[in-house]
C-alpha cells in the first residue's frame, strides 16, 4: 500500500509550464510586499504627514539600496533556478524548499513584532523597507517573464 501511495504522489503535483513560475513568484512577492507596505502606511498615517513623508522617503532609500546590493542577487538566483527546471514543473517550485523555511520564519517574526508592545512607528520602518524590497523584486520576475526567455 505504501509503495502505491509513493507511486501516485508525483501525479498529485500541480504542474505548470516553467515560465509561469516567474509569474507565481512575482505574485507572491507582490502580495507580501503590498501587505507590508499597506500596514506601514496606516501605522505612519497616525503619526502625521511630516513624519510619514520622512519615514517613507528614508525607507524607500534603504529599500532600493538593500535590493541592489542583496535582494537582487536572491531574485536572480531564483530566476536562474527556475530556468533549470523541467519544461513543466510543480507550481510550488517558484521558490526553493529552503525559501519556504525563510517565508515561515519571516511571517513568524512579523506576527511576533506586530503583537509586541513596540510602538507602531518603529515597526513601520522595517515593514515599509521589506515591503518595498519585495515589490521591486516582484517587478524583476515580471520583467523576466515578459522578456520571453526560455533558457534551460
| Crossing angle of helices 72-83 and 18-45, rounded to 10° | 160
The pLDDT of residue 51 is 83
Domain count along the chain: 1
pTM, whole model, 2 decimals?
Answer: 0.83
User: Could you list the residue range(s) of the whole structural domain that residue 98 is in?
Assistant: 17-146
Residue 2 lies inside a defined structural domain of this protein: no
Residue 8 lies inside a defined structural domain of this protein: no
Residue 58 lies inside a defined structural domain of this protein: yes
Each residue's pLDDT, cut to its tens digit, for the chain (152 residues) gives 454 444 444 567 788 999 999 999 999 999 999 999 999 989 888 888 888 888 888 888 999 999 999 999 999 999 999 999 999 999 999 998 888 999 999 999 999 999 999 998 889 999 999 999 999 999 999 999 999 755 54
Residue 10 lies inside a defined structural domain of this protein: no
Residue 6 lies inside a defined structural domain of this protein: no
Residue 9 lies inside a defined structural domain of this protein: no
Residue 11 lies inside a defined structural domain of this protein: no
The pLDDT of residue 7 is 47
Residue 87 lies inside a defined structural domain of this protein: yes
The pLDDT of residue 21 is 95
Q: Residues near 141 by Cβ (< 8 Å), separated by ≥ 6?
A: 22, 23, 25, 26, 29, 75, 78, 79
Amino acid at each position: 500500500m505504501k509503495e502505491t501511495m509513493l507511486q501516485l504522489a508525483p501525479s498529485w503535483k500541480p504542474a505548470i509550464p516553467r515560465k509561469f513560475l516567474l509569474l507565481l513568484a512575482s505574485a507572491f512577492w507582490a502580495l507580501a510586499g503590498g501587505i507590508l507596505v499597506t500596514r506601514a502606511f496606516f501605522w505612519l498615517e497616525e503619526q502625521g504627514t511630516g513624519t510619514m513623508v520622512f519615514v517613507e522617503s528614508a525607507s524607500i532609500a534603504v529599500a532600493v539600496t538593500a535590493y541592489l546590493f542583496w535582494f537582487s542577487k536572491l531574485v536572480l538566483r531564483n530566476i536562474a533556478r527556475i530556468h533549470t527546471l523541467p519544461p513543466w514543473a510543480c507550481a510550488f517550485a517558484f521558490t526553493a524548499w529552503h525559501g519556504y523555511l525563510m517565508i515561515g520564519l519571516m511571517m513568524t517574526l512579523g506576527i511576533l513584532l506586530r503583537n509586541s508592545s513596540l510602538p507602531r512607528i518603529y515597526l513601520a520602518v522595517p515593514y515599509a523597507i521589506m515591503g518595498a524590497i519585495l515589490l521591486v523584486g516582484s517587478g524583476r520576475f515580471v520583467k523576466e517573464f515578459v522578456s520571453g526567455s526560455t533558457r534551460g
